Structure 1
Amino acid sequence: MLVREVMSSPVITVRRTDPVRRAIRTLHGHDITAAPVVDDSGRLVGVVSELDLLRGEFEPDPRASVLPPHAAQEPPPRRVMEVMTREAVTVTETTDVTTVIDLMVGKRIKSLPVVRGQEIVGMISRRDLMAMLARPDGELRAAVEAALREHYPFGPSWDVAVHDGVAELSGPPHQHADHIADLLARTVPGIVRVKHLRRAP
């Protein structure tokens, strides 16, 4: 599965000069956990997450302790540029999602900007990947059948079943046709594996 089949687009961005509260409202209003940060020319300069934006926004509540809370030594951050992550890890539309997962695990990040050259074309998040895996088996089965009909209309006839994201293609043995059908089934977002079963003669 490729990033372009899973990513969220169009992308929601914030400017590095935006006030922190504006960025908070942007993320909350669009129900996203992170956003690319751009400069005045629209160039990617970083990523800001919910956790970044929470820094310094709350002071201790005096009701939570018998001791008086200490006053903050410094004022809270005022601009996105003060809290964002400057070294943005990016992927492209043709990056395999297995690479995305490795980056998320290895770098402990939840979302990555998707770029096409210098242009930001989307975001891919853990939530996007979970949404694909949560697709009902009946919906996936219909999508696999549609992909086979559309892209291989003169191929053999397969019976398609899907169980927990695993597509089972049942038909007469045909090595070349099986290979094509396997590739087509794997392009369906949410299909995690493909099995070939032999139809009884």
Structure 2
Amino acid sequence: MIDFLATFIVFFAVIDPVGTVPVFIAATRGYDTKAKRKIALISTGVAAIVLLFFVAAGELILSAMSIPLSAFQIAGGIVLFLFALSMIFGESKPEEETRLAESHHETAIFPLAVPSIAGPGAMLAAVLMTENTKVGLWQQVQISAVMMSVVFLTLILMLMASSIHRFIGNAGASVVSRVMGLILAAVATTNTLAGISNYFKL
């Protein structure tokens, strides 16, 4: 059995469903309710496929390129840490990706599906948390199910976007994004230290 709560928190941090709400609102400005619902469904569907692909094939791709998972774990931890720092000290996800949404038309795919939902952090987490040598098939299924539950939560929040945004505003979404960034920084540090330990067999 996996630690469902810890796994959920990790994926909640890297996917950041709350931070997607203002991005979705900006990306779908001018669309009617039916079109917004369709965009929400397409974006979460595409994001789910991308993340499941990384669960299924991410480690195989690394093996084919002769990249040890420990090296990827170290690199992934560093990238996640930098990503977390940008969430804490830089522009929050809503602020940064809202600008992207305002300048692109294929909103369901970009920036909503990638990189808002299935961003670099989520892709790395999907690979690192389903390592074949440490996690059995049943555990991988459980982790994937938790990951999909966060994607589904993102869909629900997007469908309720207008009400949520009126309640928390951009400031509230920014606060949540920064708190998630702090949690993600701790997760990234743990991954980096574990990768170093595995690489040098400490």
For the aligned pair, the TM-score class normalised by the smaller chain equals under 0.3
Q: Which has the higher contact order (CA 8 A, sep 6+)?
A: 2
Alignment TM-score, normalising by the size of structure 1: 0.28
Query: When you count strand as a share of all residues, which structure comes out higher?
Result: 1
**Considering only CA atoms, is the larger Rg found in Structure 1 or Structure 2?**
1
Query: When you count helix as a share of all residues, which structure comes out higher?
Result: 2
